Amino acid sequence: DAGVTQSPTHLIKTRGQQVTLRCSPKSGHDTVSWYQQALGQGPQFIFQYYEEEERQRGNFPDRFSGHQYPNYSSELNVNALLLGDSALYLCASRARRGRSSYNEQFFGPGTRLTVL
């Protein structure tokens, strides 16, 4: 049973560019959340997707957008990249309602984004 997978592992972009990060949730999971972890900080919640809709959003600008597909995989898009967007981006998935681990989030290995 594969866990949460993310691609790519590393990415280097320049200011003003756009980037797309991808996430496949753990088998049996239908909710995907994205977190940004700046160097030396704890992860910060960006948004959460369920049934292909954004359900909750953290304190991030509209430059951050996402999508969820029918197979529950998800994308995080960041437009007009800033130097401050350099971070580890973590995807987390949660089990379908009714499962014993419904209240637990499983994290992927992350995508390290560097903006030059």
Partner 1 sequence: AQSVTQLGSHVSVSEGALVLLRCNYSSSVPPYLFWYVQYPNQGLQLLLKYTSAATLVKGINGFEAEFKKSETSFHLTKPSAHMSDAAEYFCAVSGFAGSNYKLTFGKGTLLTVNP
Task: Please give the single-letter amino acid code of residue 55.
Answer: R
φ, ψ at 44 (rounded to 5°): -115, 135
The residue count for binding partner 1 (CB under 8 A) is 27
Does residue 60 touch partner 1 according to CB under 8 A?
no
Q: 73-112 mask for partner 1 (x: CB under 8 A)? A: -----------------x-x-x--------xxxxxxxx-x
Binding site for partner 1 (CB under 8 A): 4, 31, 33, 35, 40-45, 48, 50, 55-56, 58, 90, 92, 94, 103-110, 112
